[in-house]
């Protein structure tokens, strides 16, 4: 397949398999989504969803979050890993949201990426899923699939994001990144991947 054919095939296959794309992280608003995405770094969405009910029961907004101290937050989120870093980031960004944004989550990439513990990928998820702004959050899983599908030869997620944004229409980005995540989990895992049984890899390599 030529690249344009691969792009079309990937988009059509993902749309057929995943016409609806629920957000994998449980949340109620932009703040709880931001915290959930921050917790998901090097942790599965499934585990995050088991931890956040306990956290959000105590604090589902920045005002309640800073009533706890860092150690209290750390104790709750410990199963997510990186808890020393994440607990400080959650506490500090909650303070900043109160002081600078009246407790609201800002809706710009620049302001989000200035918050402690919030990188470009986390900001992209919040912008796309909380505010509906076109973004293409690329993590290591999407990076891996884009390479397998010969949609990028980027050496890092930043380059892969640029390549995918160039290849797919802007109005599909928010849904497409979730479709790729779902597909990767079901058909195209990092380990134990059977190319012949993968609906996309099997066709791309065959043609």
> What is the C-alpha to C-alpha distance for residues 27 and 130, in angstroms, rounded to an integer?
10
Every domain range in the chain assigned CATH 1.10.340.30? 30-129
Q: What per-residue confidence (pLDDT) applies to 170?
A: 97
Instruction: Provide the phi-psi class of 104: left if phi over 0, else alpha when psi is between -120 and 50, else beta.
Output: beta
Every domain range in the chain assigned CATH 1.10.1670.10? 3-21+135-206
Q: What per-residue confidence (pLDDT) applies to 203?
A: 92
pLDDT band (50, 70, 90) for residue 206: low
- Comparing CA positions, the residue from 155, 161, 164, 147 lying closest to residue 200 is 147
Residue with tokens 């990188």: 119
| Greatest CA separation for the chain | 59
Per-residue pLDDT at 15 exceeds 80: yes
pLDDT band (50, 70, 90) for residue 1: confident
> What is the C-alpha to C-alpha distance for residues 12 and 3, in angstroms, rounded to an integer?
14
Q: What per-residue confidence (pLDDT) applies to 154?
A: 87
State mean pLDDT over 165-181. 97
Per-residue pLDDT at 162 exceeds 90: yes
Residues known to be catalytic: 121, 139
Residue-wise pLDDT tens digits, 56-107: 999 999 999 999 999 999 999 999 999 999 999 999 999 999 999 999 999 9
State mean pLDDT over 168-187. 96
Q: Which CATH architecture has domain 30-129?
A: Orthogonal Bundle (1.10)
The domain 3-21+135-206 having CATH identifier 1.10.1670.10: the answer here is yes
CB 46 within 8 A of CB 74: no
Tokens representing residue 146 in the block: 């884009």
């Amino acid at each position: 397949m030529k690249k344009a054919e691969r792009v079309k095939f990937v988009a059509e296959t993902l749309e057929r398999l995943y016409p609806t794309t629920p957000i994998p992280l449980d949340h109620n608003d932009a703040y709880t989504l931001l915290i959930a995405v921050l917790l998901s770094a090097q942790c599965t969405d499934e585990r995050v969803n088991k931890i956040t009910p306990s956290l959000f029961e105590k604090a589902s907004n920045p005002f309640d979050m800073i009533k706890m101290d860092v150690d209290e937050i750390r104790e709750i989120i410990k199963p997510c890993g990186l808890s020393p870093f994440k607990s400080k980031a959650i506490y500090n960004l909650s303070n900043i949201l109160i002081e600078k944004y009246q407790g609201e989550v800002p809706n710009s990439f620049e302001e989000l990426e200035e918050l402690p513990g919030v990188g470009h990928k986390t900001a992209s998820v919040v912008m796309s899923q909380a505010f509906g702004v076109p973004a293409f959050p690329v993590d290591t899983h999407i990076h891996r699939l884009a390479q397998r599908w010969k949609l990028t030869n980027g050496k890092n997620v930043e380059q892969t994001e640029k390549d995918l944004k160039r290849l797919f229409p802007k109005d599909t980005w928010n849904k497409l990144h979730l479709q790729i995540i779902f597909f990767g989990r079901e058909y195209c895992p990092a380990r134990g991947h059977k190319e012949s049984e993968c609906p996309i890899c099997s066709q791309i390599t065959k043609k």
